[in-house]
Amino acid sequence: MEITITFLPNDKPNIPVEAETIVPSAFIARDEIFVWEGNKKRSLSDIAEIEYKGSTDDVSDIHLVLLGETGRVKRVGEYMDGGRITIHGDIGMHCGNFMESGIIEITGNADAWLGREMRGGTIICHGSCGDYCGSGYRGEKRGMRGGTIEVMGDAQDFCGEYNSGGDIIIHGSCGDMAGVEMHAGTLTIHGDCYRPCGNLTGGTVTIHGTAFEMLPGFSHHGEVMVDGISYSRFTGDVANRGKGEVIVRGYQR
């Protein structure tokens, strides 16, 4: 079953839409879906056109397609437990919160906290993403615990903070403090980053570009070959008795 949701133009585009109800499983019964636009509860049909094609009782057979003014829509795919969501454009904050399974694909950019505390499934962002990709929310000690996030562009600060078992792939560069407080999982950065991996206790971070301002709490353990190219291998963060691994092509202290 395919459901196309086209968000209508709004004369107040800065008012966000809280849409944690936009998950495939919510559309099986075709009941009315409610969201919050600012501080007002709205029927989804009041702010978007909804078109159904087909029917199913299996969440894995449901494909949500989001069109229109999607950039102000937050929390899409929260607790998603199967199926597929395709977003044609940008998406707001907290997309894929606590996601357990399924696929979310974003053709544009994603705002902050993409895949926050994700448990499983796959998120593919063809643009760039904001701060805290794959991290835990403020005050949480565990971020992403499973699944995969792949970003074709850049990520901003604190990418992979508190990663506890997920896999994050950034094809561009990251901002400040990528991989900070990581416990497990992997973070792969194909570009550059700044001050990565503070308080790293576990997991593996691979940086194919340059790590600027590499923190002092990492022990150098020689060179390793990656695709025929020599990379430096570090372990740490020794300041936190960490046993994580950082493999980096170039670095500056």
This prediction has a pTM of 0.96
pLDDT computed for residue 253 by the predictor? 85
Calculate what percentage of the chain has a pLDDT beyond 70.
Answer: 100
CA–CA gap between residue 101 and residue 143 (Å, rounded): 16
CA–CA gap between residue 162 and residue 220 (Å, rounded): 23
The closest of 130, 126, 132 to 106, measured between CA atoms, is 126
Flag whether pLDDT at 241 surpasses 90. no
The phi and psi torsions of 165 (rounded to 5 degrees) equal 150, 0
pLDDT computed for residue 138 by the predictor? 87
Flag whether pLDDT at 13 surpasses 80. no
Domain ranges across the chain? 2-215
- H or E stretch covering 44: helix 44-47
pLDDT computed for residue 240 by the predictor? 86
Beta bridge partners of residue 86, listed in sequence order: 65, 105
Evaluate whether 89 touches 67 at the Cβ level (below 8 Å): yes
Which CATH code is given to the segment(s) 2-215?
A: 2.160.20
Flag whether pLDDT at 242 surpasses 80. yes
pLDDT in tens, 27-45: 998 899 999 999 999 999 9
pLDDT in tens, 80-93: 999 999 999 999 99
The mean of the pLDDT values for the chain is 96
pLDDT computed for residue 12 by the predictor? 79
Beta bridge partners of residue 67, listed in sequence order: 6
- H or E stretch covering 226: strand 218-226
pLDDT computed for residue 145 by the predictor? 97
Flag whether pLDDT at 169 surpasses 80. yes
Evaluate whether 128 touches 106 at the Cβ level (below 8 Å): no
Measure CA 63 to chain center: 20
Cα radius of gyration (the chain): 19
